[in-house]
Amino acid sequence: MMAVKDVVGKIEEIDQKILDLLEQRVALYQQGIDEGEETEQQLEDYDNEGSWEQEADVRGLNVVRLGKIHREVQALCRDSG
Protein backbone atom coordinates (compact mmCIF):
# COMPACT_ATOMS: atom_id res chain seq x y z
CA MET A 1 0.00 0.00 0.00
CA MET A 2 1.28 3.46 -0.92
CA ALA A 3 1.73 6.10 1.74
CA VAL A 4 -0.46 9.18 1.42
CA LYS A 5 2.56 11.37 0.64
CA ASP A 6 3.49 9.02 -2.20
CA VAL A 7 -0.04 9.21 -3.59
CA VAL A 8 -0.02 13.00 -3.35
CA GLY A 9 3.37 13.11 -5.05
CA LYS A 10 2.12 10.96 -7.93
CA ILE A 11 -1.01 13.10 -8.30
CA GLU A 12 1.16 16.23 -8.42
CA GLU A 13 3.27 14.65 -11.18
CA ILE A 14 0.15 13.79 -13.18
CA ASP A 15 -1.28 17.28 -12.68
CA GLN A 16 1.94 18.80 -14.03
CA LYS A 17 1.75 16.53 -17.07
CA ILE A 18 -1.86 17.57 -17.66
CA LEU A 19 -0.88 21.25 -17.50
CA ASP A 20 2.06 20.65 -19.85
CA LEU A 21 -0.25 18.90 -22.33
CA LEU A 22 -2.81 21.71 -22.09
CA GLU A 23 -0.06 24.24 -22.85
CA GLN A 24 0.98 22.18 -25.87
CA ARG A 25 -2.62 21.89 -27.08
CA VAL A 26 -3.18 25.64 -26.78
CA ALA A 27 0.06 26.34 -28.68
CA LEU A 28 -0.83 23.88 -31.44
CA TYR A 29 -4.35 25.27 -31.71
CA GLN A 30 -2.99 28.80 -32.06
CA GLN A 31 -0.45 27.62 -34.61
CA GLY A 32 -3.30 26.07 -36.58
CA ILE A 33 -5.33 29.29 -36.37
CA ASP A 34 -2.33 31.20 -37.66
CA GLU A 35 -2.20 28.87 -40.68
CA GLY A 36 -5.47 30.24 -42.01
CA GLU A 37 -9.21 29.87 -42.19
CA GLU A 38 -9.24 26.34 -43.63
CA THR A 39 -7.08 24.99 -40.81
CA GLU A 40 -9.18 26.86 -38.27
CA GLN A 41 -12.31 25.18 -39.64
CA GLN A 42 -10.65 21.76 -39.48
CA LEU A 43 -9.73 22.38 -35.85
CA GLU A 44 -13.29 23.40 -35.02
CA ASP A 45 -14.65 20.34 -36.85
CA TYR A 46 -12.32 18.08 -34.87
CA ASP A 47 -13.29 19.69 -31.58
CA ASN A 48 -16.98 19.32 -32.36
CA GLU A 49 -16.79 15.60 -33.18
CA GLY A 50 -17.31 14.58 -29.58
CA SER A 51 -14.25 12.35 -29.55
CA TRP A 52 -13.61 13.03 -25.86
CA GLU A 53 -17.07 11.88 -24.92
CA GLN A 54 -16.74 8.73 -27.03
CA GLU A 55 -13.37 7.97 -25.48
CA ALA A 56 -14.74 8.62 -21.99
CA ASP A 57 -17.46 6.06 -22.61
CA VAL A 58 -14.93 3.48 -23.83
CA ARG A 59 -12.76 4.08 -20.76
CA GLY A 60 -15.66 3.96 -18.33
CA LEU A 61 -15.31 7.61 -17.34
CA ASN A 62 -18.20 9.98 -16.68
CA VAL A 63 -19.21 11.13 -20.17
CA VAL A 64 -21.07 14.25 -19.00
CA ARG A 65 -18.24 15.51 -16.82
CA LEU A 66 -15.59 14.81 -19.44
CA GLY A 67 -17.75 16.59 -22.01
CA LYS A 68 -17.74 19.65 -19.76
CA ILE A 69 -13.96 19.45 -19.40
CA HIS A 70 -13.65 19.17 -23.17
CA ARG A 71 -15.72 22.31 -23.69
CA GLU A 72 -13.53 24.16 -21.17
CA VAL A 73 -10.39 23.02 -23.00
CA GLN A 74 -11.91 24.23 -26.26
CA ALA A 75 -12.63 27.62 -24.67
CA LEU A 76 -9.10 27.78 -23.28
CA CYS A 77 -7.70 27.25 -26.76
CA ARG A 78 -10.00 29.78 -28.41
CA ASP A 79 -9.52 32.43 -25.72
CA SER A 80 -5.75 32.27 -25.69
CA GLY A 81 -5.30 33.77 -29.13
* Residue-by-residue pLDDT tens, the chain, 81 positions: 778 889 999 999 999 999 999 999 999 999 888 887 777 788 888 877 778 888 999 999 999 999 999 999 999 998 987
* Tally of structural domains, the chain: 1
- What pLDDT is stored for residue 4 in this prediction? 87
Cα angle value 16/22/23 (rounded, 5°): 90
- What global pTM score does this model have? 0.81
- Residue partners of 74: CB distance under 8 A and separation at least 6: 47
- Determine the structural domain holding residue 40 and report its residue range: 4-79
Grouping H, G, I as helix, E, B as strand and the rest as coil, residue 72 is: helix
